[in-house]
Every structure is written in C-alpha cells, then in structure tokens.
Amino acid sequence: MSSASAVNSQSSSPGAQVVSELRTAFKSGKTRSLKWRLAQLDAMKRMLIDNQEHIIDAIAADLGKPRFEAFTTEVGFLLSEIEHTQKNLAKWMKPVRVKSAVVLQPASSKIYSDPLGVTLVIGAWNYPLQLSLGPAIGAIAAGNCVVVKPSEVSHYTSALIHGLLPQYLDSDCVRVVEGGIPETTDLLEQKWDYIFYTGNGTVGRIIMTAAAKNLTPVALELGGKSPTIVDESADLDVTARRIIWGKFTNAGQTCVAPDYVLVHERVHDELVAAFGKAITEFYGTDTKSSADYGRIINERHCKRLIGLLDGGNLAHGGEHDLSEKFIAPTVMTGVDGDSPIMAEEIFGPILPVLKVSSIHQAIDFVNERAKPLALYVFAGNKTRAQQVIHNTTSGGGSINHVWMHLAVPGLPFGGVGESGMGAYHGHHSFNLFSHKKSILDKPTFVDPNLVYPPYGDFKQKLIKRLL
C-alpha cells in the first residue's frame, strides 16, 4: 500500500472520524462556557437517576454485583461526584491571581484553566460505570470534548452506556465507542489532547507508547498489591471487619482492595480468627447464597484465581464453582513473600496473611516491592501508624480503614510508580483535564525605563535589589 493510501485509510477509520468531528465541535468554543458544562453534568445526573434500575441490572449481569453495592459504589458515587463538581465548578473556573514581582509593577498575574481539547477515557470492567463516567465528569467539567470507551469485558454495562449517553448528553461533544482490541487500537492511533486509562500495567505501557507518538499526556490508573499492615496495638475486631469488608466488596475485584495482610506475629492467630468471624457475620455460613456477595467477571479470571488457592493454608473459605464463577471469601495463612500469590495483584476474593515481627519488618517488606496504589495501616498506637505513613510510598491510603479515602472529594486519587500516574476526583479531576495557562497583564499607562537599556550602574544596582 502506498503512503498516500495508508494515510487515506487511517483518516477514514471510525476513530479518525470521531476525533475529527469532536475537534470541529471543540473549535467552535461551545464547551468553554459554564452553562454548557453544567448542562452536561445535569444531563448525566438525570441519566443516572432515570435509569438507575436498568444500570444496576446491567452491572449485576456483568459481575453478579449485589444491588445495594452497585448503587453505592457506582451510581451513588457518580451522583456525589457530579453534585460536588456542580457546586464548585464556577469557583474552579475563575482565574487565580498570583503575586507579581516588584520589578514588573504595575502588573497583574493570573492562572487560567484552559480545556485541553479532545480527550479519551478508557474505562475498566470491575466498576464498569464508575470508571468510565467518573473521569468523563472531570473532562466535561474542564470544558473538553470526550470519547468514553467502556470495557468490552463488562459488555452489558458497556452497551447500556452506549445506548444512554447520546440520549442525554450533547453528542456533538461527548461520544461512546464500544468494542475490543481492534476498536481500542484504532482510537489509540489518533491524536488526542489527553488520554485517561484505568486498568493494568501491561496495557498501560501500550497506552503510553501510543500516546508518545503524538506527545499526548496520559493519566494511568493502574493497580498493584496494596498492603495492609496490622500492628499488635490494633483493635482486632474492628480491624477484621473493615479489612474483610474492603477486601470482599465486589468479590475482591477492586484496584484498592487490601491485597495482602502483614500482621504482627503476636496477634496473627487472633486476627485470622476474627477474619473468619467477620466473614460469617457478613455473608452467613453459605456465602454462595448470600445476596451481598458478588461473582468473578468471567471464567478466565475465575480459573486464574482458583489456581492461586494452592499457595498456602486455607484458614477460611476456598470453596469455588467455576460454572457459577464463584469463589468463597478466602483467607490464607502460611504464605511467604516468594509465593506465587505474592507475585502479582490478586484481584479476587483471596486474602493472604503473612507474619511479621515488627513494624520495621513490615515497612521493609513493603518498600522492597513496587509502589502500591494504596496502603493501609491499623494501629492503636498513633506513633506506629505515622511511622508507616512517613516511611512508605503509595498512591494513597487510610489509617484504621481501607479505601475510604476515595470517598473524600478533596483528596486526589491516583497511583505512583508502577501503580500509575495522574490523580483525579473532585477539583483534582478538573485540574487533570485543564491546562494551567499563565498570563501577565501589564498596563501601558505607565512605562518606566528601568528595564530598558542602557543599563548604567544605578539601574543595575536598583534592578538587582528589586529581583
């Protein structure tokens, strides 16, 4: 194929057509007004409220997610994000005044938040609604056009997003593209002004490679093995309930779920027993029939997780049914740092528990591995908790709880190192999808010759004092 034919072929691809149309819409300036942005956010809010039951049905069909859990972690989370953004957007959009240097006076210096342009959001299957529309809220609030690419793995939710979004939002500026690897590859071949991806590190590297061709900035929300450190001073009953709740929500398929537990050897057995008690309290003796416990997304992931069950002693759980994509909430002991289950993110309902002899050993264990997306420490001793926070690196975390930092709109959510780059939620989403443009405004009613040559001794001395 000739180079001209190749260019024509690329330019006529579905992805190229979408980007071209959105770029035309962005250049018209319609996305820049506060009125347009608020209208789109309000439309998304109405979409979520009007179709709440259909959305929950789709998520349940994809993941077997309990209905209340689907509401709180998907629909309710997005509604809160929209309302927070609507309440504060006018303030966020205002230019921020900064002090001008004395030598520049009279002058006014401001930082303007400019929309980036045409953006791409690639969602993930484990929270198929939240992780597709959550970043799009920030893109729209910042005045961008956006393409939402839901995960094809959660195909019921993807189809619903594809059907609903054009009915409510401005389709000149907001689009949904469904599909798998071919469609995503086509999209990545286009020139974007920003790419936001949620998923794993392998695909994250593909995203960065494609983005580099056009020097496109990216946000990568990846995963990692988020550690949980339990000190001997912790309240073990509360600790167990919070860890079990955070780990087995969405059947463990949460990027910030506690991946493994490092517990002081003196309270290891007591904590493991408390884990079993909490599991029974939450899901009963027959977890499979619990209305509050979900399923694994597909058979491939279920087989992968079942293969990890031989990596230690089954203290609780271990039951599984591939035909129903079910794995019981499982706690494993006798696991060491070199076990296969410790090699990669588990992303499922299996919780390894490892003994440590001190907080120092736990900190060293964490620091010898890739920087996690989240880190949790449980301790009644505040000094030891702060010791963990100040001597480890993670995207974020909590003291005496798990992943509830996500629920605070003022806190940025994102990874570091292998767990990602870029942070969002609330004002941080607006900033992520904005360019901070620096503008100096210097009036002409006075024009001192201080900065102009010739520079005699007096001018030089004065300027040096003012700088």
Q: Which residues are catalytic?
A: 221, 255
Q: How does DSSP classify residue 371?
A: P
Residue closest to 261 by CA, chosen among 240, 280, 282: 240
Q: Determine the Cα–Cα distance for residues 234 and 38; give it in Å rounded to an integer.
A: 45
Non-local (6+) Cβ contacts of 17 within 8 A are none
Give the CA distances from residue 137 to residues 8, 173, 369, 415, in Å, rounded to whole numbers and listed in that order: 34, 13, 33, 19
Query: Residue 160: which of 243, 59, 72 has the closest Cα?
Result: 59
State the alpha helices, DSSP H only, in 200-267. Answer: 201-212, 236-248
- The backbone torsions φ and ψ at residue 434, rounded to the nearest 5 degrees and listed phi first, read -120, 150
Contact between 258 and 405 under an 8 Å Cβ cutoff? The reply is no
**In one letter, which amino acid is 294?**
G
| Rg of the chain in Å (alpha carbons) | 26
DSSP letters of 116-168?
Answer: --EEEEE--SSSTTHHHHHHHHHHHHTT-EEEEE--SSSHHHHHHHHHHHHHH
